[in-house]
Amino acid sequence: MLLFTIIGVAVDSSEHTDDFVKSKLSTSEIIKQYYVGFVPWIWGLLYPLFVFIAVIFFTSKMALRSEVISIIASGATYNRWLRPYFLAGLIFAVGLWFANRYGIPKATAIRNAFMAKYIDSPTGGNDIGRCSNCFYKRIDSVTYVGIKYFDTSSKSASVFSLEKVRKGEVFYSLRAQKMEWDTAKRNWKLINVTERRIDSTRETLREIPLMNIDLKLKPVDLTNDEYLKDKLTTPELNKFIQTEKLRGREGLEAFEVEAYRRSATPFTVLLLTMIGAIIAGRKTRGGSGLHLALGIIIAAFFILSDRFSTVFSVQGDLPPILAAWLPNILFSLVALYLYMRAPK
């Protein structure tokens, strides 16, 4: 982990040197505001690979010295020899499970805050076909709100609209020239409001200079944060997904895949531990080099399958839970095959 951390920090710092210079921060500030979050993030990303390589490295040394053969020849069964690997892998998996749920998201929030402030180029509402501070949300089963040009600092928007729709027909509409967050009443204040009520026989129009309205939205909900799924703890992420589903929001596949992956990745640690032990426990002429080569090839296929499944879920129709667990399912079959073929 220390070796990969040094390599990762060296590569990342060379890539972001210009951004660090433009930020005008000192080295200690960059470490506190960026690398304190970067290191746990890279650990969480590569942790299964760390365990996998470690298992292959020292097990191949045992196999090269015929220690595995001696253990089996002494009367211990193959399963008994694998038991310490299973228990150690389980301990590492549980540790990563807790880190994925609570620790790593907190660290990632530090890194992402730096990325958003100093590295990512801001996109405003003048981009063609895109408004980064515009929102259209479903509040309940019949209510939809539209908000344009929301300013997070003043907690206000220049355009607000609300429609209530039943059976495909609008029966209530509201427009306001300005919308502000009322800190005293903890709701939204609308200025220059036009209210329209529609029924089957007539339409009623009313002009209101000032009114307050309770929405199931707070200023914190009106932010477009591309890093949101990474920096929420798992309970917060699950609550966010449930809330947005009630609002009728679409495109939550990336959030759901992230939530499921936080449980799938710890299982990956246990799975790769067993695969590494089975591969490296067999004495070969290639020694540790051959074992490490096989391990790297397997890890590369695993990462590739993980990326493909995520893309198919976010861009296609693959269920998020299947996208998160599909690599584990496939490589569980690989582990079973290797176990059945292993000399016992």
Question: pLDDT digit of tens for each residue in the chain (344 aa)?
Answer: 888 889 989 999 999 999 898 888 899 999 999 999 999 999 988 899 899 989 988 898 888 888 988 998 898 999 999 999 999 999 999 999 999 999 999 999 898 888 878 887 544 434 444 566 788 888 877 888 888 888 777 788 888 999 998 888 888 999 999 999 988 888 899 999 999 998 877 888 899 999 988 888 888 777 766 778 888 899 999 988 888 787 767 678 888 988 999 999 999 999 999 999 998 888 777 667 777 787 778 877 887 787 778 777 777 778 888 888 988 998 899 899 989 988 87
On whether residue 299 sits in a domain, the answer given is: yes
Same domain, 197 and 101: no
Same domain, 112 and 151: no
On whether residue 236 sits in a domain, the answer given is: no
Q: Which positions ≥6 away from 279 have C-beta within 8 Å?
A: 56, 291, 294, 295, 298, 338
What is the extent of the structural domain holding 321? 2-120+247-341
Map tokens 């397997």 to a residue: 298
On whether residue 284 sits in a domain, the answer given is: yes
**Predicted pLDDT of residue 190:** 92
Same domain, 285 and 313: yes
Q: What is the C-alpha to C-alpha distance for residues 278 and 328, in angstroms, rounded to an integer?
A: 17
Same domain, 203 and 108: no
Phi-psi region of 298 (alpha: psi -120 to 50; beta: other; left: phi over 0): alpha
pTM of the model: 0.74
Cα–Cα distances in angstroms (integers) from residue 264 to residues 87, 193, 270, 301, in the given order: 18, 50, 10, 17
Same domain, 6 and 110: yes
Same domain, 116 and 139: no
**Predicted pLDDT of residue 123:** 44
Same domain, 253 and 330: yes
Same domain, 213 and 272: no
Same domain, 145 and 198: yes
**Predicted pLDDT of residue 37:** 92
If we measure between CA atoms, which residue out of 166, 167, 212 comes closest to residue 193? 212
On whether residue 103 sits in a domain, the answer given is: yes
On whether residue 26 sits in a domain, the answer given is: yes
Q: What is the C-alpha to C-alpha distance for residues 327 and 318, in angstroms, rounded to an integer?
A: 13
Same domain, 207 and 291: no
- Token pair belonging to 263: 């449980």
In 116-227, alpha helices (H): none
Count of domains for the chain: 2
Cα–Cα distances in angstroms (integers) from residue 120 to residues 10, 22, 52, 107, 114, in the given order: 20, 12, 34, 18, 9
Map tokens 């067999």 to a residue: 282
Query: Residue 148 belongs to a domain with what CATH number?
Result: 2.30.30
In the chain, alpha helices (H): 2-15, 17-23, 27-30, 36-64, 67-73, 78-98, 104-114, 228-231, 234-246, 253-280, 287-315, 320-341
Question: Sign of torsion, CA 337 298 261 52?
Answer: positive
Map tokens 């306001």 to a residue: 176
Same domain, 115 and 163: no
- Amino acid 11 reads V
Cα–Cα distances in angstroms (integers) from residue 12 to residues 9, 19, 38, 107, in the given order: 5, 11, 9, 17
Same domain, 168 and 192: yes
- Token pair belonging to 332: 């569980």
**Predicted pLDDT of residue 128:** 42
On whether residue 233 sits in a domain, the answer given is: no
On whether residue 231 sits in a domain, the answer given is: no
On whether residue 191 sits in a domain, the answer given is: yes
**Predicted pLDDT of residue 224:** 67
Q: Which positions ≥6 away from 22 have C-beta within 8 Å?
A: 118
